[in-house]
């Protein structure tokens, strides 16, 4: 006889698969806490056409982080919201830097490696100030 297993976590961290009761259980919270966090904008689950909340594994991980910051670090909910916003901004900037690095690498890869001839009939003029003459 095997022990009962909890809900399986899908491979896609953004798959919206957990109803609120399952997400609450996975996060170790009460479902009402999840509703409050949604209302405050801390965690925003996707909604079904009927208005039901659907949480992703990423949402559950965020709920756990909110709980950790609140209970272990003593950060209030307004502070947690700001931390989440700043973390999202940093991640977006990191993605953009990666995109730009890829674009730059593509531009550099497109450079021709041929030697470019320079005409030899150009004169070189050296200018010296009057006081050195």
Q: pLDDT by residue (tens digit) across 21-33?
A: 999 999 999 999 9
CB of 59 closer than 8 Å to CB of 12: no
Q: Is residue 127 part of a domain?
A: no
Strand partners, 46: 54
Q: Is residue 9 part of a domain?
A: no
Q: What is the CATH number of the domain that holds 63?
A: 1.10.1660.10
User: From the CA atom positions of the chain, what is the Rg in Å?
Assistant: 29
Q: State residue 3's pLDDT score.
A: 45
pTM of the entire structure? 0.67
Q: Is residue 125 part of a domain?
A: no
Q: Is residue 76 part of a domain?
A: yes
Q: Is residue 98 part of a domain?
A: yes
- Of residues 69, 36, 38, 41, the one with CA closest to residue 55: 38
Q: Is residue 5 part of a domain?
A: no
Q: Is residue 38 part of a domain?
A: yes
Number of structural domains (the chain) is: 1
Domain that residue 104 falls in: 20-111
Strand partners, 20: none
How many CB atoms are closer than 10 A to CB 109? 7
Q: Is residue 45 part of a domain?
A: yes
CB of 72 closer than 8 Å to CB of 65: no
Q: pLDDT by residue (tens digit) across 40-78?
A: 999 999 999 999 999 999 999 999 999 999 999 999 999
């Amino acid at each position: 006889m095997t022990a009962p297993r909890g809900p399986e976590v899908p491979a896609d961290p953004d798959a919206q698969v957990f109803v609120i009761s399952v997400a609450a259980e996975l996060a170790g919270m009460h479902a009402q806490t999840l509703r409050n966090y949604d209302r405050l904008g801390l965690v925003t689950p996707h909604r079904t056409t009927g208005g039901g909340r659907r949480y992703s594994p990423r949402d559950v991980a965020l709920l756990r982080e909110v709980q950790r910051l609140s209970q272990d670090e003593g950060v209030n909910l307004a502070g947690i919201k700001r931390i989440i916003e700043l973390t999202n901004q940093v991640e977006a900037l990191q993605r953009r830097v990666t995109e730009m690095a890829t674009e730059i690498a593509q531009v550099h890869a497109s450079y021709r490696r041929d030697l470019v001839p320079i005409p030899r009939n150009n004169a070189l003029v050296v200018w010296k100030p009057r006081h050195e003459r």
